[in-house]
Amino acid sequence: MAAAAPLAHAGSRNSRRQPEPYPGYAIVVNNCQDSIYLWSIGSTVGPQVRIDRGANYTERMHYDPGSGGVTLRITSGANGLCFAEPQMIFAYTLKGIQVYYSLADLYGDPFRGRRVALVTSGVHTPNPPCNDIVWERGVSPGPVSPRICFFGSNLTLTVC
């Protein structure tokens, strides 16, 4: 969170506050041959969103006070969330000046055999760098700890 600029003089017309920083965006890009389906879930489940080939889904990252975080659940079939189909889970939570993010599969690997990449862009500093998550074969290479980036960074998940 940006600190307010010091005041030159209380009540001065020249006193200004720094603009509040905005969180970045969570973006899912579909490069698969077929449509994929997404649900944004915090303390409630959002509606199913169909993402056609070449299209994307974008939401401004937000804090969910009920759950503490948000998951974007992605399946390769319509209504996959309802039928416990294999799901990719792109999760994020905002805490202070950081965004924590991770990638996992549940009930199988919906994009097995196809490249999956969760990359960061926007606000970075070299210490520490924000780390991308890349699954060359669409399957987690093993246990992955949540990653940390900076408030204002964009997270883009590209499937296939």
Summarize pLDDT for 149-158 with one digit per residue, the tens: 988 889 999 9
**CA neighbor of 93 nearest in space, from 73, 68, 74:** 68
Is residue 149 within a helix (H) or strand (E), and if so which, with residue range? Answer: strand 147-150
Q: How far apart are CA 85 and CA 100, in angstroms?
A: 26
Summarize pLDDT for 29-78 with one digit per residue, the tens: 999 999 999 999 999 999 999 999 999 999 999 999 999 999 999 999 99
Q: How far apart are CA 64 and CA 95, in angstroms?
A: 11
pTM: 0.83
- Non-local CB neighbours of 15 within 8 Å, separated by 6+ positions: 5, 7, 8, 9
Structure tokens at 80: 């996959």
Q: What is the CA 42 to chain-centroid distance, rounded?
A: 12
Give me the amino acid identity at 136.
E
Question: Residue 26: which pLDDT band, with cuts at 50, 70 and 90?
Answer: very high
